[in-house]
Structure 1
Amino acid sequence: MTDQRTGPPGAVTGRLQHLLQAARAFDRRRPYVWDVAVTLFWMTAALTDYASSGWRRLAQNLDVPDWQLLVMSIGFTLPLLWRRRHPLGVLLAMVPFAFLNAWTGAILQAHLASLIPVFSLAVHRPLKQLVPAFLVVTLPLIPGALRYPLAAWDAAFGPAVWGFSLTALLGIAVRSRMEHLASLVDRARRLEIERDQQAQLAAAAERARIAREMHDIIGHNLSVITGLADGGAYAAKKNPDRAVQALEAIGTTSRQALTELRRLLDVLREESPSADLAPAPALSDLDSLIAGVRAAGLPVDTTIEGEPVPLPPGLELTLYRVIQEALTNTLKHAGPSAAADVLVSYGTDALTVTVTDTGQGGPAREGGRGLAGMRERTALYQGTLEAGPHPAGGWRVRLRVPLPEGTAP
C-alpha cells in the first residue's frame, strides 16, 4: 500500500536523481562555482580548527607560532581550487606545508584536505598516478616521526596510510560506477542508432515494394488501355461497333486499375484500419489478366505443365506480377503483329514460368523499372530470372523459383 505522505515507492529516489542531475548540469555549465564553494568550505573548517585551538588535542608541540598555523591552514586548502584540473599538482603544492606540519609537530587537521585530490586522481586520472600520490602523502611525515620519536610510527603513518587507501578505493568504486553508466549510455545510443538504421532499411524496402506494385498496376493497365485506344481509333473508321467495344474495354480496364490502386493506397493509410484487404492477385487470376491483354490486341497462348500445387500467397503474387510485366513489355515493344506464349511448368523441386513473344527483340527492353522489379521480386524467393532476345526471334523471360518445403507434388 502506498503511503499518502511519502508518495509511491521510488519517488524519493527519483527526486534525488533529479536533483543530482540538475547539480551535475549546473557544474558542467559553471565548474568554477563548485570549485570555489568546496575550497571555501575546507578553508573555513581549517581556520575554525586553528581559531578554536582544536589542533592542540593532537599536537605534539603546543608552541607552534600562530603565523605558521595560519600559513599551513591556508596552504592545505587554497590549492583545492585546482583539484579537478591538476590533482597531482595540487598534492605537490601541499608538500611544503605537509613537511612543515610534521616538522613543527602541530598535526593540523587541515592536512586531511590532501585526500580530496587523491579522490580526484582515483576518479579521473590513470590509476598508476596513485603510486606517486601515495609517496607525496606519506614521505613528508618522516621528518616529524624522526624529530618526535616518543610518538609511535604507527600513530604518524597509520592514519595517513589508511586514509589514503580508503579514499583511493572510494574513488575507484565511483570511477567503476561512472564507467559502467557510460557504457550503458553508449550501448543505448548504439541500440538507438541501430534501431533507426533498421527503420530506415525497412522503410526503403517498403518503398521499393510499393514502387513495384505501383509500376505493375499502373504500367500494365495503361499499356492495355493504350492498345485498346489504338485499336478503337483504327476500328472507328471501318466498324463503329468494334470502336464501342474498345471503349467499353477501356472503361472496364480503367475501373480495375483504379480499384487496385485504391486498395493499395487504403492499406497505406494508417488512419484507415478498415481498408479493403482483398486477396492479392495469384496464378488463379491469370485468365482475367490474359483476357485483358488479348482485348488489347495481343494474342496469348497459355500452357500449364505438371500438377499444380498450393503456393504461398507472396510467391503467387510474384509469379503473377512477373507474367503481367512480361506481357506488358510485349504490348509496349513487340510491335503490332506479335504474339505471346505463357508456359507455367511445375517440376519436382522448382516452378518455371516462361513468357516468349514473336515481336522485335533487342536491348531496348532493358531500361526502366520493369525488369529490375521482376528481378527484385524473384530474388525474394531465392529464384533466378533471365530476360533477353530469344534465339528463334522475339523476346523471352524465364523465371525459376524453388518450391517451398512440403509443396512439391
Structure 2
Amino acid sequence: MHRLNVRLRTRPMTVDAGWAGLLLVIGLLHASRFAGPQLAWRAASAVLLAALLVVRRRAPGPAAVGGVLLGVGQLVLDVAAGPASAGYLALAYTAAAYGPVWASRLALAGGALAGPLAVWRFDPGGPTAGWPRAALLSGFLATPFILCWAWGRLTRVRRAYLTELEDRAARLERERDAQAKVAVAAERARIARELHDVVAHNVSVMIVQADGAAYVLDNSPRQAKEALGTIASTGRQALVEMRRLLGVLRTSDTAEEYVPQPGVEKLPELLEQVRTAGLQVDYATSGHPRELPRGVELTVYRIVQEALTNVRKHGGPDVHARVAVDFGERELAVLVEDDGRGSTDENLTTGGADGPGHGLIGMRERVGMVSGSLDVGPRPGGGFRIRAILPLKTPS
C-alpha cells in the first residue's frame, strides 16, 4: 500500500487521467440522454473537460484558461451543467494551488461568476421569480467553486511553508557542519600547541641529559647512569602526556582513562625535573592559592614549561631562572625571568639553531583564550622576562 501511494504521488498525471476517465464516462452517459446538436455538444464538452483534467497539474495556467473558455462555450451553446461539470471544481482548485497568480485570479473570477451566469442562462424562472431567489441560487452555485479555490490557496500556502521549513533545515544543517569543522580545526590547533609544549620541553631535557651523559661517560659512570635514568623517566612522562592528548582522537568505544591535564599544583614537579636537567630555578608563590579554572591552570603550566624550555635553549651557560606566581583577588600573575644572555623575541619565535618553533606564538594564543595579557622582552640588567596576567572571576 505504501509503494502504491508513493507511485501515485510521483505520477500525478496517472491519477488525473484516472479521474478524468471516470468523469468522461459519466459525461458521455449523461450526453446519451439527448439527441441532435445537444448530444454532440455535450459529448464534446465532456471530452474537452476530461483532457483539461489530465494536464491540469502539468500546465495549470493553460488548463484554467481552457476551463473558462469551455464554460463560456457551454453558455453560448446552451449546454447546461451536468454531472461531469464537477471537473470545473478540480480546475479551480488546481489553478489556486499550482498555477501562477494570474491563473489563480482568473479561476476565482470564473468561479464567482459561474453561479450568476448559470442562473441567468439556464433558470427559466429566474426573471419572474425576482432577484432574491436569483441571488440565493447564484450564491449556492458559486459557493463550491469558491471553496475549492480557497482549498487550493491553503494548499499553496502550506506547501510554501513546508518548503521554507526544508530550506531552513538545510541551512541549519550546513551551519552545523560548518561549526563542526571550525570546532575540529580549533581542537587540532589546541592539540598542536599541546604537542609542541610536551615535545619541546621533554625532548630538550633529554638532549641536555644525553649530552651530559656522553661528556661524563668515561670519567663518571655513576653520573652518566643518573643522566640516562633521567632520560628514561622524561621519555615516559612525554609518552603519558602524548597518549592523553591523542586520546581525544580515539572513538568512544576505545577511549581509556587518561591522567588529568597539568595545572599549578604540578609546577613543583616540573621545576624539579628542570633542576635535574641542570637548570637552576627558584620558585615562589604569593597571595592565597586556590582552585582555578582548568583553562587557567593549564595555561599557567604551559607558559612556565615553555619559558623554561626557552631558557635552556637560549639562556647560555650558568643561567639562573626564577618563577613567581601571584594569586590576586581578580587576576593571576605569572613571571618567568632569567639572567642569561637574553635571547631576543625573534630568536625565541624562530627557534634559533633548532629550527622554527611556535613558543611565543603558542603562549600568546593560550593567554588570549583566557582573555589575559602577555608581556615578553629583555630584562633590565640582562636576561629575558615573560610576564602573563590572567583574569579570574571575582569571588562571590
Provide the TM-score with structure 1 as the length reference: 0.81
Q: Tell me, in whole angstroms, the C-alpha distance in 1 between the residues paired with 2:101 and 2:371.
A: 56
The letter for the 2-side match of 1:399 is A
Q: Tell me, in whole angstroms, the C-alpha distance in 1 between the residues paired with 2:66 and 2:106.
A: 14
Match of 1:83 in 2: 56
Match of 2:242 in 1: 261
CA contact (8 A) 2:375 2:388 kept: yes
Q: Tell me, in whole angstroms, the C-alpha distance in 2 between the residues paired with 1:87 and 1:263.
A: 65
Q: Which range moves more in the overlay, 152-161 or 78-87?
A: 152-161
1:374 CA displacement:
2.1
1:319 CA displacement:
0.7
CA contact (8 A) 1:145 1:151 kept: no
Q: Tell me, in whole angstroms, the C-alpha distance in 2 between the residues paired with 1:295 and 1:391.
A: 28
The letter for the 2-side match of 1:90 is A
The letter for the 1-side match of 2:44 is V
Query: Taking every aligned residue pair, what percent have the same amino acid on both sides?
Result: 36
Match of 1:227 in 2: 208
SS in 2 for 1:353: strand
Q: Tell me, in whole angstroms, the C-alpha distance in 1 between the residues paired with 2:24 and 2:329.
A: 91
Match of 1:384 in 2: 373
Q: Report matched runs for 1:46-61 at 5 Å.
A: 46-51=27-32, 53=33
Match of 1:361 in 2: 343
The letter for the 2-side match of 1:121 is A
CA contact (8 A) 2:213 2:223 kept: yes
Match of 2:353 in 1: none
Q: Tell me, in whole angstroms, the C-alpha distance in 2 between the residues paired with 1:201 and 1:382.
A: 20
1:141 CA displacement:
7.3
* Alignment gaps of 5+ in structure 1: 1-14, 57-61
1:131 to 93, 105, 113: 105
Q: Tell me, in whole angstroms, the C-alpha distance in 2 between the residues paired with 1:105 and 1:355.
A: 105
SS in 2 for 1:406: coil
CA contact (8 A) 1:351 1:402 kept: yes
* Alignment gaps of 5+ in structure 2: 127-133, 351-356
Number of aligned residue pairs: give it: 379
1:327 CA displacement:
1.0
CA RMSD of aligned residues (A): 3.0
1:343 CA displacement:
1.8
1:145 CA displacement:
5.1
Q: Which range moves more in the overlay, 213-222 or 118-127?
A: 118-127
Q: Report matched runs for 1:11-50 at 5 Å.
A: 20-24=5-9, 26-27=10-11, 32-50=13-31
Q: Which range moves more in the overlay, 368-377 or 145-154?
A: 145-154
Q: Which range moves more in the overlay, 155-164 or 315-324?
A: 155-164
Match of 2:291 in 1: 310
1:118 to 75, 92, 96: 92
1:375 to 348, 351, 364: 364
Q: Report matched runs for 1:198-237 at 5 Å.
A: 198-237=179-218
The letter for the 2-side match of 1:379 is G
Q: Which range moves more in the overlay, 198-207 or 219-228?
A: 198-207
1:189 CA displacement:
2.7
1:400 CA displacement:
0.5
Match of 1:292 in 2: 273
CA contact (8 A) 1:344 1:353 kept: yes
1:337 CA displacement:
4.1
Match of 2:131 in 1: none
